[in-house]
Amino acid sequence: MERTGACFAERNLTMLTDFYELTMANGFFENGRADQIAYFDMFFRKNPDGGGFAIMAGVEQLVEYLKSLEFTEEDIKFLRGKKIFSEEFLEYLRNFKFSCDVWAIPEGTPIFPYEPVLTVRGPIVQAQLIETMVLLTINHQSLIATKANRMVRAAQGRDVIEFGSRRAHGYDAAIFGARAAYIGGCAGTACTIAEKELGIPAMGTMAHSWVQLFDSELEAFRAYARKYPHNCLLLVDTYNTLKTGIPNAIRVFNEELLPLGARPVGIRIDSGDITYLSKKARKMLDEAGYPDCKITASNALDEYIIREMILQGAKVDSFGVGERLITAASDPVFGGVYKLAAVEENGRIIPRIKVSDNVSKITNPCFKKPWRLYDRDTGKAIADVITLREEIIDDTKPYVIFDPDHIWKRKTVENFYARELQVQIFSGGRLVYNLPGIHSIRSYCLSQVDTLWDEVLRFENPHKYYVDLSQPLWDEKQRLLSEYSI
């Protein structure tokens, strides 16, 4: 049965916000603008690890947070103690009720720089207040899901198991990191609570301490095999992998499992030259009559090490990946930002833009939506296009796309179909989205990654996947840039 996680449900995290969200909220209120409608977009500027794409994750936990937004009397008392907030504003917070509209790209979808992965429309105080948690939640899980997917692709069909709880940056990072890793394609996790709360398969057998506790390695293996004859996976590198570990494992398989009609699940190697050791181990296991005994590798692995091991002929059936996954150690920041895109005045949507000498920090204005164009023959994604919210891409006709930074690069797309990427999550503060189960999200993620061309999937120098602007949106952006130019 699929479950959705509700790990935030019993915690009110309303105050998990940057303090300037509250000082601005107070200022908006005092200036009579607390209920002015504003539009915010979340987007990110670069793919982790120089990759070709990222994976959207974290929407479910954001939903749980938004459903629980309220200021308690304890919160009000704390804010009063700061002595900078008016009593009228504190009373406003006491009666606070989330009423925004929220759209998001579903979890598991490949996403690309500069497209709005999430859009919020609502009273400025509310839309601004949630900035911190929007970014915290989506940034973290998208980062880990992306890293996990890289490792899963490197493993070329072999299972990758998330082993990183003990290296995570806190317990929430362990739980939700396990969730994100599963979305990205991992087969399971070592984190037990992740199965209890989220339905992600928890896996694991023994540590070196089990072997060390007994008077001999052989005795340790016997004890484990007797207790778990149908789930026997032995850690063979505590002393000497080839001279004692594997021979003792084979002896226990013969003497403890076979008489019960059981077969070994496998062995795990956690140190040394695992590629070399796995080749030797495979030969020893096969010759002993255990070609079905799997070999698991662990020990500070990442996508590059996994890829090299496979290229060098490692006889590894699955990989346990810990610290370099749960912390995304090689590129540990997912640079998502949350920017004002428009406001409403007298019922009209007025676009807003952030201008900068740093071109990458210039924002795309207006109330928008992203589309993905697919080739009808291959099913592969061609490009994404950001349009004004009211625009429709008619995929029954040729459609011209162009590079928004180099507008002379144009292409007429034919024989394609267009899909809106965002779905509505909240309407007027009411949840209107049926949250999918975690297994459905994982399957959807793997299928959507398969719509990307191999050139986009490369680890090094991937092909740039284009995120274009529609002509009306590009025109409006140029108008605003001209207006604000000095």
Q: Is 225 exposed, middle or buried (0-12, 13-18, 19+ CB in 10 A)?
A: buried
Residue 302 is which amino acid? D
Q: Which tens digit of pLDDT belongs to each residue from 22-34?
A: 999 999 999 999 9
pTM: 0.96
Q: Are 309 and 274 in contact (CB under 8 A)?
A: yes
**Residue range 30-43: average pLDDT?**
97
Query: Do 228 and 322 belong together in one domain?
Result: yes
Tokens of 312: 């060098």
**Overall number of domains in the chain:** 2
Q: Locate tokens 């604000």: which residue? A: 484
> What are the structure tokens assigned to 113, written together?
């720089």
Domain boundary among 326, 349, 379: 326
Q: Is residue 9 part of a domain?
A: no
For the record, the structure tokens of 357 come out as 């000498």
281 occurs within a structural domain: yes
What CATH code is carried by the domain that includes residue 93? 3.20.140.10
Which pLDDT tens digit goes with each residue over 95-140?
A: 999 999 999 999 999 999 999 999 999 999 999 999 999 999 999 9
Do residue 319 and residue 356 come from a single domain? Answer: no
φ, ψ (nearest 5 deg) of residue 39? -120, 125
- 153 shares a domain with 140: no
Structure tokens at 270: 């956690």
Report DSSP state, residue 45: S
The answer to whether residues 264 and 399 belong to one domain is no
Order of all β-strands in the sheet with 118-123: 348-351, 336-345, 37-44, 118-123, 101-104, 423-427, 430-431
- Residue 8 in this model has a pLDDT that exceeds 80: no
pLDDT of residue 231: 96
- Domain end, chosen from 309, 326, 343, is at 326
Is residue 121 in a domain? yes
Report if residue 458 sits inside a domain.
yes
Instruction: Domain of residue 213: give its range.
Output: 147-326
What's the confidence (pLDDT) of residue 9? 53
CATH number, position 320:
3.20.20.70
Identify whether 11 is part of a domain: no
Distance CA 402, CA 419 (A): 18
Q: What does the block give as tokens for 126?
A: 């509310």
Residues 165 and 132 in one domain: no
Share of residues in the chain with pLDDT > 70 (%): 98
Mean pLDDT of the chain: 96
Q: Say if residue 193's pLDDT is above 60.
A: yes
Same domain, 47 and 156: no
Q: How big, in percent rounded to 5, are the helix, strand and coil portions of the chain?
A: 40, 20, 40
Same domain for 109 and 169? no
Using CA atoms, how far apart are residues 213 and 470, in angstroms rounded to an integer?
66
Select from 289, 305, 326 the last residue of a domain: 326
